[in-house]
Amino acid sequence: MGFFSKIKKMWSGGEAAADGSERQPAAKGERDEALEAAEPARAKGFQASAPAEEGWQRELQRALQRAEPRLSAWLDHILSGVHKADDTLWRRLRFLLRSLEVPESEAEDFIRRFRQWLDDMDYDRVEEFRSELQYRLALALELEDEEDERSRLFLKLSSGLTKTKEQLSKRIDQLISSRETFDEPFWEELEEILIMADVGFNTTRALVERLQSRVRSSGINDPGEAFKELFQEELAKMFPQPPKRIKPAPPEVVLMLGVNGVGKTTTIAKLAHRAQMQGRKVLIAAGDTFRAAAIEQLEIWAKRVGSGFYAKKAGADPAAVAFEALDKAVRENYDLLFVDTAGRLHTKSNLMEELKKIKRVLDKKHPGAPHRIILVVDATTGQNAVSQTKLFNEHIGVDEIVLTKLDGTAKGGVVLSIAIEQGMPITFIGLGEKMEDLRPFEGRFFAQALLG
């Protein structure tokens, strides 16, 4: 959908009249225009309501008129007095989407997909689905980057990192409170803490050196003073940004790599889900033809997220699957194609040759493809994740990393190794098994969650 930007533009300035305390009033002419533009949207919303539904609707309308993208507040109003997924909920969701000027067909599609998901998951009660609903709305309305959603994500990140924090931040706190100066033992103990959290030797050295020079230049003497903030800042700076890329001619082709068990299949599903919610048409190709079970598993996921699916029999040539899937994607106007691949590492050279062939074939069919090569690695494997990054990057070339299972591990320090030592951008992290548990990675945010 992606409507909120439009709505916001429409509202901006216009609301200054209703809520002058919070916004700079716009020039008069502009304001009248904005009000005029905004009015029909609101009026339409109200007409849609049954007269009996007052309380939640009045509150929601007020919240919307504030023109602040507060999805959590909107949902509070919509879900007030609602305990399970029933007609009341659909009616209220329709009201919200209509008030935001979402075209009816897209609103209905959103609701239909969500109901299908509830059905698949066998969920009914609000507490079972609220979070997923909010995630879907955030993506569909382009609100994921808004402050309200970001603070929700921050909490999620923070709690997902609990084990790593125990290993890292708690010990750093202890170190800070037990030392009075930045002496040799301080730095040695800091190194030890970092290495224990799987930060890796080289990254630890690089980080400690930067911290030492920051401490020197800032003139602080007592570790209790500002060391943690300084640490956070340095850390945030060390994460490479993914390169800005020009949008390719569709379909965009994403090749997914990763050793078995890291979470590759579920990551494809999660990424496909995100893209679908953002309004893109997605096709998934079952390029791991080594095991029949892998094909079936991927097909189930494709159905569940509502994307297209292309597969051949188990044992088929993976490059042929990739080629034919791309052909289908072009013919049927897909926006995005994910190609799954095998991950059996015991036949390393075969696997690498197979992956190279897939790359060649994709490029031949659609020059420039694959546009992104994503390697999925599992944070619980610690330094193994780092060696996998190195290996796949050397043989195939990797554009970005998705790091899964950060929620279950104390080895989250591996994020730093991969990003800093391997110079590899991490674009998404997995914080659990649910769809909404895969979220964009941001170094600054991560440093704050880890050390804050």
Q: Residue numbers of the site for ligand GDP (CB under 6 A)?
A: 258, 260-266, 343, 404-405, 407-408, 430-433, 437
Contacts of 186 (CB under 8 A, 6+ apart): 175, 179, 223
Query: Which residue's Cβ has the minimum distance to ligand GDP?
Result: 430
Q: Of Mg ion, ligand GDP, none, which one sits near residue 389, judging by CB under 5 to 8 A according to partner kind?
A: none
- What number of chain residues touch Mg ion (CB under 5 A)? 3
Helix/strand/coil for 186: helix
Query: Which residue's Cβ has the minimum distance to Mg ion?
Result: 265
State in angstroms the smallest separation of the CB of 288 from Mg ion.
6
Cβ(118)–Cβ(129) under 8 Å? yes
Give yes or no for residue 393 binding Mg ion (CB under 5 A): no
With CA atoms as reference, report the closest residue to 311 among 289, 341, 344, 334: 289
State in angstroms the smallest separation of the CB of 377 from ligand GDP.
10
Whether residue 223 has a cis bond before it, omega within 30° of 0: no
CB closer to ligand GDP out of 211 and 402: 402
State in angstroms the smallest separation of the CB of 384 from Mg ion.
17
CB closer to Mg ion out of 276 and 341: 341
Q: Of ligand GDP, Mg ion, none, which one sits near residue 240, judging by CB under 5 to 8 A according to partner kind?
A: none
CB closer to ligand GDP out of 193 and 268: 268
Looking at the DSSP assignment, which residues form a beta bridge with residue 253?
A: 337
State in angstroms the smallest separation of the CB of 257 from Mg ion.
11
CB closer to ligand GDP out of 211 and 376: 376
Alpha helices in 238-368 (DSSP H): 264-277, 292-305, 318-331, 348-365
State in angstroms the smallest separation of the CB of 274 from Mg ion.
18
CB closer to ligand GDP out of 262 and 295: 262
Q: Of ligand GDP, Mg ion, none, which one sits near residue 258, judging by CB under 5 to 8 A according to partner kind?
A: ligand GDP
CB closer to ligand GDP out of 239 and 290: 290
With CA atoms as reference, report the closest residue to 423 among 398, 449, 406: 398
With CA atoms as reference, report the closest residue to 429 among 234, 115, 20, 154: 154
Q: Of Mg ion, ligand GDP, none, which one sits near residue 69, judging by CB under 5 to 8 A according to partner kind?
A: none
Q: Give burial (CB, 10 Å; 0-12/13-18/19+) of 293.
A: exposed
State in angstroms the smallest separation of the CB of 235 from ligand GDP.
22
State in angstroms the smallest separation of the CB of 350 from ligand GDP.
18
Angle 385-161-416 (CA atoms, 0-180°, nearest 5)? 40
Output phi, psi for 404, to 5 deg. -95, 170
Q: Residue 65: what residue type?
A: Q
Question: If residue 429 lies in a helix (H) or strand (E), which one and from where to where?
Answer: strand 426-430
Site for Mg ion in 245-274 (CB under 5 A): 264-265
CB closer to ligand GDP out of 14 and 408: 408
Site for Mg ion in 275-334 (CB under 5 A): 294
State in angstroms the smallest separation of the CB of 265 from Mg ion.
3
CB closer to ligand GDP out of 233 and 433: 433
Q: Of Mg ion, ligand GDP, none, which one sits near residue 404, judging by CB under 5 to 8 A according to partner kind?
A: ligand GDP
State in angstroms the smallest separation of the CB of 433 from ligand GDP.
4
Cβ(65)–Cβ(19) under 8 Å? yes
State in angstroms the smallest separation of the CB of 37 from ligand GDP.
43
> How many other C-beta atoms lie within 10 A of the C-beta of residue 25?
12
Angle 28-33-38 (CA atoms, 0-180°, nearest 5)? 125
| Residues 265-277 as b or e (16 or more Cβ within 10 Å = b) | bbbbbbbbbbbbb
CB closer to ligand GDP out of 15 and 436: 436
CB closer to ligand GDP out of 102 and 269: 269
Looking at the DSSP assignment, which residues form a beta bridge with residue 339?
A: 255, 285
Q: Of Mg ion, ligand GDP, none, which one sits near residue 103, judging by CB under 5 to 8 A according to partner kind?
A: none
With CA atoms as reference, report the closest residue to 271 among 343, 337, 321: 337
- Beta pairing, strands 426-430 & 400-404: parallel
Cβ(370)–Cβ(340) under 8 Å? no
Q: Of Mg ion, ligand GDP, none, which one sits near residue 99, judging by CB under 5 to 8 A according to partner kind?
A: none
Residues that bind Mg ion (CB under 5 A): 264-265, 294
